[in-house]
Amino acid sequence: MEIRDTLQLRSFAEYKEAYQESISNPEKFWDAIAEKFYWHKRWDKTLQWDFTKPEVKWFEGGKLNITENCLDRHLEKLGNKTAIIWEPNDPDEESRHITYRQLFIKVCHFANVLKNNGIKKGDRVCLYMPMIPELAIAMLACARIGAVHSIVFAGFSSTAIASRINDSKCKLLITANEVYRGAKPVKLKEMCDEALKTTPSIETVIVYRRTVEPTPMQEGRDKFWFDELQKVEKECPAEIMDAEDMLFILYTSGSTGRPKGMVHTIGGYMVYTGYTFANVFQCDHFAPTNTIPQKKYDGDIYWCTADIGWITGHSYILYGPLAMGATTVMFEGVPSYPDYGRFWEICDKLNVTHFYTAPTAIRALAKQPIELVNQHDLSSIKVLGSVGEPINEEAWHWYNDNIGKGNSPIVDTWWQTETGGVMISPLAGITPTRPTFATLPLPGIQPVLMDENGNEIEFRSQQSEGRLAIKFPWPSIARTIYGDHQRYKEVYFSTYNNMYFTGDGAYRDATGNYRITGRVDDVVIVSGHNLGTAPIENAINEHLAVAESAIVGFPHDIKGTALYAYVTLHDGKQASDQLIQEIREQVSNTIGPIAKPDKVQFVTALPKTRSGKIMRRILRKIASKDTSNLGDTSTLLNPDVVQEIMDNAL
Ligand code: WTA
């Protein structure tokens, strides 16, 4: 029996029973799940926690290596099963199928390259890689030897790479020379070279050659992936790690200042991502009562379209699926290349059974001619997933009707970089779904809604709306912000007493189903990407002509939310189209193209409270063209400016 079979809940009754057990006896509940994984030594203490410090430890004293759970343990039965199917950007290039055994060999081999370049347990390694199997190999190779990976999404700018490398003092950087995404070449190594001018901690750069183009290399520091492999052996025993040792750091936007390096530790993250992958997606298994017809393919093919540079890719392209012995697809390209039928073409070609994407992609694809969908055979699809932002009613129905053909359950999965794994979601084919609702908490998750006075809104079969917090720890909660535990405490544990605050607002229906309504803080989600307003404002303010700026989100058909910048200029500086271009470029260079504001409005002043705080609520309403009820503006320092901003709004 595969590990997956031992973990999967098979009916709604089983889910409810598991949920009850997880609340009344959490330690016993998680013990039984963790026991299904491979440990060198069992843990001494299942859970130790104190949200006031905050401190959370799971499976303390347990010894393990996550790669033995993702690779070695599968070799006997699943060695020849495909672990990763890689689909290139260019449809004319061959796909790659990598079996569990091949992946195991490649990971061990590359782990020795890391060792040979001086990387030891605990060292941080930065990865700035395209979506190619070598990214997965490099991550697992780090985990094999106990090094900590810190992946920087390959759409980020050199400034963003440098600040992340410096924050966690990475010793080694792994990248690729360049990559094609859509029709555009992206010169990753050049981006790194720019960053490397200000990253003194980096001693070595390993470069994978994705294309044959010449690559600038710095003697002594930069080395080619393939050359390095020639120098080392293929066997690499797994480093035995403590459950609470760091597995990775992943940066996410904060509402103020620097990005936050969220720290995830090995044991809890492995147990939770494995367990939730098995149950949310129900790969290779359906409940006896399931209503889902068996479609054209026997073995399930699971495809999550996220980039591994985000948490979704970490947990549900790589670690969760591999821990459960699933076949996971990695796609290098974009949904629009060579045309907007690309996702469906891949689903058809690979017989994808589980398709997991973001609402922003769904909305963009729904705008295209329906023939782009209908010319492909999507009958292999059994389960659809959504993640990253609230899915609107229209997108939900389009997805359900046209991709799922009305008989593939949609799992709307709510979670965060900080939570490590899915928190609120239906179990495919088991939990009754409701359009736009993430539905019910997974076993082990205790969500609560808080009112504006900071009191818990009790669940008494009535509808309610509030801010979403979680009142009990789960195994994959981030343990800290790298190098800044105080900030971790302030951001997540100081809003409510003894609870983790998510930053999201939510609505709960009379049966207890949750719908996440969106961020309540200064984080804006653009095309599913979590962006802090403060770093974007900082980037804009660096422009010499700019005095001050405020960024807010406004509703956008495809992106869900797009960015609107209000900018004031220094005396004597003139507004112009040229200046708008420069401001957009400035943001692109500092953060990345995804953070470029769609609209830039020059204003004489920003509306401020008497204590000098920008009234974003008002700016948000103006940007959203929702000015009927601006609320009380009389308390502003400069109430007159509101009318002026409204008159000139874009
Ligand atoms: C939002 C992505 C509604 C939410 C896994 C959260 C969602 C933020 C959903 C985290 C969903 C994610 N419905 N909103 N199904 N999933 N969000 O850290 O605002 O990139 O706080 O993690 O995305 O984004 P992050």
pLDDT at 287 over 50: no
Q: Which amino acid is at 508?
A: R
447 and 353 housed in the same domain: yes
358 and 317 both lie in a single domain: yes
Same domain, yes or no: 301 and 397: yes
Boundary-marking domain end, from 449, 481, 508: 508
Is residue 607 in a domain? yes
- The verdict on 411 and 468 lying in the same domain is yes
> Does residue 277 lie within any of the structural domains?
yes
Residue closest to 116 by CA, chosen among 224, 239, 241, 233 = 233
- Residue 100, classed as helix, strand or coil, is helix
Q: What is the pTM of this model?
A: 0.89
Number of domains in the chain: 2
Helix runs in 314-445, H state only: 320-323, 342-350, 359-366, 371-374, 393-398
The residue-averaged pLDDT of 186-191 equals 95
Distance from Cα 321 to the centre of ligand 1, integer Å: 20
276 in ligand 1 pocket by Cβ < 6 Å?
no
Q: What is the DSSP letter of 438?
A: -
Cis peptide before 432 (omega within 30 of 0): no
Look at ligand 1, atom 14, and give the residue with the nearest C-alpha. 389
The pLDDT of residue 407 is 93
Residue range 169-173: average pLDDT? 98
Which range of residues forms the domain containing residue 39? 12-68+244-248+261-508
Provide the angle, in degrees to the nearest 10, between the axes of the packed helices 158-168 and 577-590: 30
Taking only the tens place, the pLDDT of each residue in 604-619 is 998 887 666 778 888 9
- Residues 607 and 620 sit within 8 Å (Cβ to Cβ): no
Query: What letter represents residue 43's amino acid?
Result: W
Q: What is the CATH number of the domain that holds 402?
A: 3.40.50.12780
Burial of 371 (0-12, 13-18, 19+ CB in 10 A): exposed
Q: Distance between CA 512 and CA 445 in Å, rounded?
A: 13
| Number of other CB atoms surrounding residue 529 within 10 Å | 22
Q: Which of 453, 478, 508 is the last residue of a domain?
A: 508
CA-wise closest residue to 436 among 335, 560, 612: 560
Measured from the CB, is residue 415 less than 6 Å from ligand 1?
Answer: yes
At residue 517's C-alpha, the angle toward residues 512 and 522, to 5°, is 135
What pLDDT shows up at residue 533? Answer: 85
The torsion angles phi and psi of 96, rounded to 5 degrees, stand at -120, 135
Which of 16-30, 468-482, 507-521 is predicted least confidently?
Answer: 507-521
Contact 618, 607 (CB under 8 A): yes
Q: Is the CB of 416 under 6 A from ligand 1?
A: yes
Q: Is there a domain that residue 209 lies in?
A: no
**Could you tell me if 434 and 581 lie in one domain?**
no
Same domain, 404 and 486: yes
How far is the centre of ligand 1, averaged over its atoms, from the C-alpha of 594 (Å)? 17
Q: How far is CA 91 from CA 210, 306, 335, 337, 342, in A?
A: 16, 19, 12, 9, 9
pLDDT-wise least confident of 68-77, 128-137, 628-637: 628-637
Tell me the percentage of the chain whose pLDDT exceeds 90.
Answer: 80
Q: DSSP assignment of 202-240, as one string?
A: --EEEEE--SSS-----TTTEEEHHHHHHTS-S--PPPP
Identify which of 151, 360, 416 to mutate to test ligand 1's pocket (most ligand atoms within 8 A of the CB): 416
357 lines ligand 1 (CB under 6 A): no
Q: Is the pLDDT of residue 289 over 50?
A: no
365 and 315 belong to one structural domain: yes
Residue 473 pLDDT more than 90? Answer: yes
Same domain, 598 and 543: yes
The answer to which of 311-325, 380-394, 428-442 has the lowest mean pLDDT is 380-394
* ipTM (interface pTM): 0.99
The whole-number pLDDT of residue 274 equals 98
Helices within 467-550 (DSSP H only): 485-493, 533-541
Query: Do 484 and 603 fall within a single domain?
Result: no
User: Going by CA atoms, what residue is nearest to atom 7 of ligand 1?
Assistant: 389
Q: Is the CB of 412 under 6 A from ligand 1?
A: yes
The pLDDT assigned to 292 comes to: 46
Report d(CA 391, CA 560) in Å as an integer: 9
Q: What share of the chain is helix, strand, coil (3-state, %, to 5)?
A: 30, 25, 45
Residue 363 confidence (pLDDT): 86
Q: Is the peptide bond before 133 cis (omega within 30 degrees of 0)?
A: no
Instruction: Tell me the pLDDT of the chain averaged across its residues.
Output: 93
Rounded distance, CA 297 to CA 351, Å? 6
Domain for residue 424, yes or no? yes
One domain, residues 486 and 573: no
Q: Report how far apart, in Å, the C-alpha atoms of 347 and of each of 310, 405, 425 are.
A: 22, 14, 23
Calculate mean pLDDT across residues 454-458.
92
**646 CA to middle of ligand 1, Å?**
31
Tokens of 555: 């509703």
pLDDT reported for residue 308: 97
pLDDT of residue 518: 78
Mean pLDDT, rounded, for 211-220 = 94
3-state secondary structure (DSSP) of residue 300: coil
